[in-house]
A and B are shown apart, each in its own frame.
Chain A
């Protein structure tokens, strides 16, 4: 029984000191009563794995959310303290500034959406069948965070010498702090994902997280509308607002199509 339990624990990803502890406890139990009805090793290993994976997935979701808060701060501070926005053609390369800006715009929104959804599901955790979904959301959120931090660093490198040196250093340091924070969270994610869960659930859509009235098109419309109004007011141009609002709508649709399955946005 002990040998079989050891194999099953290894199969579900429970190894090292944790496995040794479980085996020692079961060996002690069998020494007290060799006929003890301990249960099926496969089911016991699955039960340990479900319990461990559930706790780890929830911790990982909250950890990723904290890491993304660091990224948000480290990227937002340089952007808010930039004395003047440099001319787009004054940087090292037009091929650098476009992807850098796009990475910041897209990455930050993906990270925010996936990070919030992962944390919400972890807060209202319903059982091990939700572990797989939380893991996928965390992975997407961390990817979005990495994209944002990379974009910020590329932006600073592109305008090195054009913007004040203190600002370029601040942006690169912020990207570095983001990388450290994301790497720590990614390690925790990798460890938690090494444990196999015995159950997964079918996608229940956004309404399972945000309530019965949550519709992706409605959220997209609010995001595009907010961009339109905010840009029109800040830039003093309705045309510019409409352009950015339209761009936001296109981005939203693209990201929704690409991520609806990993994030379980639809049923």
Chain B
């Protein structure tokens, strides 16, 4: 499953963050919860993706403090919302086409 989702990690992260601002650990926990535990990526690999999405302007982040520790919180930007909508449409079309072909 982790291999299959690799090309869709970016929209999956954007979808999780569409619900509100989260830090890295919470993003991963939310991914696990929404996938019923099927997404078993090495958790560290989500951070390079978060940084990449931020460099591309799809997320923005800021420091906060939690229990005396520095914590980076990520939020979806307007571009991120547009990208999520576009990738969702793309996925729905892809899934519909494949569903129509598979027995």
Contact = CB atoms under 8 A, between A and B. Distances in A.
Interface of A: 21-22, 24-29, 31-33, 36-40, 43-44, 47-48, 51-52, 55
28 contacts: A22-B51, A24-B70, A24-B72, A25-B24, A25-B47, A25-B72, A26-B44, A26-B47, A28-B23, A28-B24, A28-B25, A28-B72, A29-B28, A29-B43, A37-B42, A37-B43, A38-B42, A38-B43, A39-B42, A39-B45, A40-B42, A44-B48, A48-B51, A51-B48, A51-B52, A52-B51, A55-B52, A55-B55
Nearest to B52: A51
Contacts of B44: 26, 29, 38-39, 44
A26 B45 CA distance: 11
Interface residues of B, dominant DSSP: helix
Contact of B24 (A29, A40, A44, A52): A29
Interface residues of B, number: 19
Contacts of A29: 24-25, 28, 43-44
A22 B42 contact: no
Given A25-B47, A33-B25, A43-B42, 11 more contacts: A25-B24, A25-B72, A28-B24, A28-B69, A29-B25, A31-B69, A38-B42, A39-B42, A48-B47, A48-B48, A55-B52
A44 B66 CA distance: 25
Interface in B22-67: 23-25, 28, 42-45, 47-48, 51-52, 55, 66-67
